[in-house]
Amino acid sequence: MITELTKEQEKLMDVVRDEWLKIGLATAVMMPKEEAEVAVREAYRCAELEEPKYVFFARGPKEGALAVAVLKNYYEHEDGTEKAVKYPAKFRKTAVNHAMDGLKPMTQKELTTEVARLWGIQEKDSKLPKRISSLCQDAFQWACYGQHDAGWLSFYDFFERIGVEGLEQLSGLKKAAHSCGWWWAMDECCVITERPVHLSLDEEGRLHDESQMAIQYSDGWGLHCWHGVNVPAYVIEKPETITAKDIMDEPNAEIRRIKIERMGEDAFLTDANAKLVDEDTDKGGQPRKLWRVDFEDDPWQGVQVMNSTAEPDGTRHMFVIPVPPDVRTVAEGVAWTFGMTVDEYQPTQES
């Protein structure tokens, strides 16, 4: 029994962490399909399950979830019971699910075609057929996340490396994490997806990209994120289209603040008819103002200050800094931006 780590083992923790961070954040233009399939088959064996007879591939999580929904819709009734449609005996030995061995198996081409058709419906109508939508959403909840299981797999990988026994059953999952993205295990078939082709993070390791999707897959699906917050595409790609009305109609306080930042505080103040709460002057005699815009759930406030250092052309830049909604004076707001109280913040000169 291990009760204390040695110095060497403590150093190994950093090595394992870095290795799995690289795995979890990896991007790839193409998936090594054979390698991924071998890994997934091993995962089945480790779980003491019969290996899948059919392996399907998809380009990303959305396409993969749609593929799972199509397969389940094809082989199951709405109540989850197996369909009993009968086909000639020659098909029965190659059925996708042994419980439904009277069904003709779906091919990769047929699956890809149906997924593309459904994707087109969603693009056109902004929704999927009710049952497909339900199955698709459900699929996101029970996937094996491949490389995105790196967080917890790294924990067990470290302990296996230092001699803890009984962790061999994770070998298939660990190998899958090296070669693929999300995947779904089903009776006698599975769906395996590719890793992302683009991934962008901020300095704190959160999904973030100021001009495009922060994570994107080869099927075109991905997420637009601002410092870890998922936002609508136009907030990232077309911030000039954001208006005060759009911001005021935004129900999510966190996204609302991001929209204000992307629109620009100065433009927002003007467009939103912000209310002046307080005003004074700084040590250099420059004007300062505290503005407020009332939202039902989370009022927004910002202090407007002028840069005391002039630009090369002699002008001074005025900018707005968001502050908590309970700030009552400009002085309190400015002090807060430095992590101080009004009494603590007593600069001899401001810059």
**pLDDT tens digits along 293-317:** 887 777 888 898 887 666 666 666 6
Report which residue type is found at 45: R
pTM of whole model > 0.85? no
Confidence at residue 348, expressed as pLDDT on a 0 to 100 scale = 65
Confidence at residue 187, expressed as pLDDT on a 0 to 100 scale = 84
Low-confidence winner among 8-17, 71-80, 129-138 (lowest mean pLDDT) = 71-80
Residue 200 pLDDT greater than 90, yes or no:
yes
Confidence at residue 101, expressed as pLDDT on a 0 to 100 scale = 46
Confidence at residue 26, expressed as pLDDT on a 0 to 100 scale = 96
pLDDT tens-digit profile of 230-286?
999 999 999 999 998 898 788 887 898 899 889 988 888 888 888 999 999 988 888
How many Å apart are CA 291 and CA 269, to the nearest integer?
Answer: 8
Q: Is the pLDDT higher at 313 or at 155?
A: 155
Average pLDDT over residues 123-143: 92
Among 17, 340, 332, 323, smallest CA distance to 158 is for 17
- C-alpha atoms less than 13 angstroms from C-alpha of 5 in its C-beta half-sphere: 11
User: SS in 3 state form for 284-302?
Assistant: CCCEEEEEEECCCCCCEEE
Confidence at residue 349, expressed as pLDDT on a 0 to 100 scale = 60
Share of the chain above pLDDT 90, in %: 64
Confidence at residue 62, expressed as pLDDT on a 0 to 100 scale = 95
How many Å apart are CA 211 and CA 228, to the nearest integer?
Answer: 14
Average pLDDT over residues 70-75: 87
Contact 136, 119 (CB under 8 A): no
How many Å apart are CA 219 and CA 61, to the nearest integer?
Answer: 9
Confidence at residue 116, expressed as pLDDT on a 0 to 100 scale = 94
DSSP conformation class of 182? -
For residue 341, what are the contacts with CB-CB under 8 A and spacing of at least 6?
A: 332, 335
How many Å apart are CA 231 and CA 207, to the nearest integer?
Answer: 11
SS3 state of residue 303: strand
Confidence at residue 193, expressed as pLDDT on a 0 to 100 scale = 97
Confidence at residue 128, expressed as pLDDT on a 0 to 100 scale = 92
pLDDT tens-digit profile of 12-37?
999 999 999 999 999 988 889 999 99
pLDDT mean across residues, the chain = 87
Confidence at residue 153, expressed as pLDDT on a 0 to 100 scale = 98
